């Protein structure tokens, strides 16, 4: 039986995240409670993971991420989901230590062999990261869902919050943008084999440099670019750090196939939801074409690290990223004092 996983999902990968505007409404009435002093990162700035200090030299990093299929191949789906989940550990400057599987499958629709391949894909990525899948939870649901609870360790002094950026910092992006657009083209049957290979290469590349970047004194903040797009996750840095950002569109690393598709009008519904959620905080040039906006808001499944560092540290950050195989890593803009806004130049 020919199974296409994406036929079971209304939105795939990080594109199925709840829209930022809706999420804000859902969390608006969440009570503010007194947090233990050991919880050094919680929900206050929408950071990538929670961090709980264990002692003077260790803190545990905890996160979870799961979603519906972004591709039809079950093994690739498992790999992408696991890579995406572990990324939050690296984005906090941590090193992963173990994972728990989050599994929801329509057992009446998917053969067990397909589900086994999804799990095998996730396990292969965890093996690459050097961690075990030590347990998890599974349920029978209408849409396939897979992901991980990921746990890691970090030195408390090396935690990289999205609120740590400083005026004058430069912004460096580790992976090119456009994965969401490629996924939209895939659903329409337009993505070529080469385009699919490009998509898989980027979405299964672990953001391992995050742990090493956290050891550089010039690195002030790190996040990873996922479902809210570059603009959304950069705005989280701006809000957390009380800064304004400028991004040069000409310097953005972009997936060439994605640029071709978006200029033809192909994008995700999540891109529009993202813009509706935070577009009032983004200033575009008057003559900017709509496709540039779509790339800024394109949901990135397992996207790249976004690093804020002192200008003097940019060369070292780029060397670390490129040395680890992130060839397209680039300086894309800067941060300055001002209201939490993003200006595209």
Residues noted as catalytic? 14
User: Closest Cα partner for 204 from 129, 131, 310?
Assistant: 129
- The tokens describing 52, both together, are 């709980």
Radius of gyration of the chain (CA): 19
The H-assigned helical ranges of the chain are: 20-27, 74-91, 112-129, 179-187, 193-203, 209-213, 229-241, 256-263, 269-278, 290-297, 314-323
Written as one string, the DSSP assignment of 126-139 is HHHHT--EEEEEEE
User: Closest Cα partner for 131 from 108, 167, 97, 82?
Assistant: 97
Residue 160 neighbours by CB under 8 Å, 6+ apart: 91, 92, 93, 210, 213, 214, 219, 220, 221, 222
d(CA 75, CA 237): 34
Given a contact cutoff of 8 angstroms between Cβ atoms, the answer to whether 169 and 220 are in contact is yes
Q: What are the strands of the beta sheet with 133-140, ordered from one edge?
A: 39-41, 50-53, 59-67, 145-154, 95-105, 133-140
User: Closest Cα partner for 144 from 102, 195, 87, 85?
Assistant: 102
The torsion defined by the Cα of 108, 78, 89 and 338, in degrees rounded to 10, comes to -90
The torsion defined by the Cα of 104, 109, 115 and 117, in degrees rounded to 10, comes to -140
Q: How many helices (H) and strands (E) does the chain have?
A: 11, 13
Handedness of CA 26, 295, 232, 325 (dihedral sign): positive
């Amino acid at each position: 039986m020919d199974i296409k996983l994406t036929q079971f999902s209304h939105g795939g990968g990080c594109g199925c995240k709840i829209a930022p505007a809706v999420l804000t409404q859902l969390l608006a009435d969440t009570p503010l409670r007194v947090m233990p002093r050991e919880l050094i990162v919680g929900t206050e700035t929408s950071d990538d993971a929670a961090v709980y200090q264990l002692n003077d030299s260790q803190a545990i990093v905890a996160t979870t991420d799961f979603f519906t299929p972004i591709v039809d191949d079950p093994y690739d789906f498992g790999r992408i989901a696991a890579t995406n989940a572990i990324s939050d550990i690296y984005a906090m400057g941590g090193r992963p230590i173990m994972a728990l599987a989050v599994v929801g499958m329509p057992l009446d629709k998917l053969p067990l062999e397909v589900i086994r391949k999804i799990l095998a894909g996730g396990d292969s990525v965890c093996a690459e990261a050097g961690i075990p899948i030590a347990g998890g939870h599974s349920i029978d649901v209408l849409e396939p869902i897979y992901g991980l609870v990921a746990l890691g360790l970090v030195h408390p002094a090396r935690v990289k919050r999205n609120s740590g950026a400083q005026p004058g910092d430069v912004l460096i992006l580790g992976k090119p943008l456009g994965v969401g657009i490629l996924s939209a083209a895939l659903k329409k049957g337009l993505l070529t084999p080469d385009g699919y290979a490009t998509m898989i290469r980027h979405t299964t590349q672990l953001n391992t440099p995050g742990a090493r970047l956290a050891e550089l004194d010039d690195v002030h903040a790190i996040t990873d670019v996922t479902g809210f797009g570059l603009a959304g996750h950069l705005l989280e840095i701006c809000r957390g750090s009380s800064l304004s950002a400028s991004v040069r569109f000409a310097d953005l690393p972009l997936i060439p196939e994605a640029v071709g598709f978006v200029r033809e009008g192909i994008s995700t519904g999540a891109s529009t939801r993202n813009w509706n959620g935070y577009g009032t905080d983004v200033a575009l040039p008057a003559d900017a074409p709509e496709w540039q906006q779509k790339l800024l808001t394109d949901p990135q499944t397992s996207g790249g690290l976004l690093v804020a560092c002192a200008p003097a540290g940019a060369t070292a950050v780029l060397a670390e990223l490129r040395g680890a195989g992130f060839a397209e890593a680039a300086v894309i803009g800067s941060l300055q004092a001002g209201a939490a806004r993003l200006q595209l130049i």
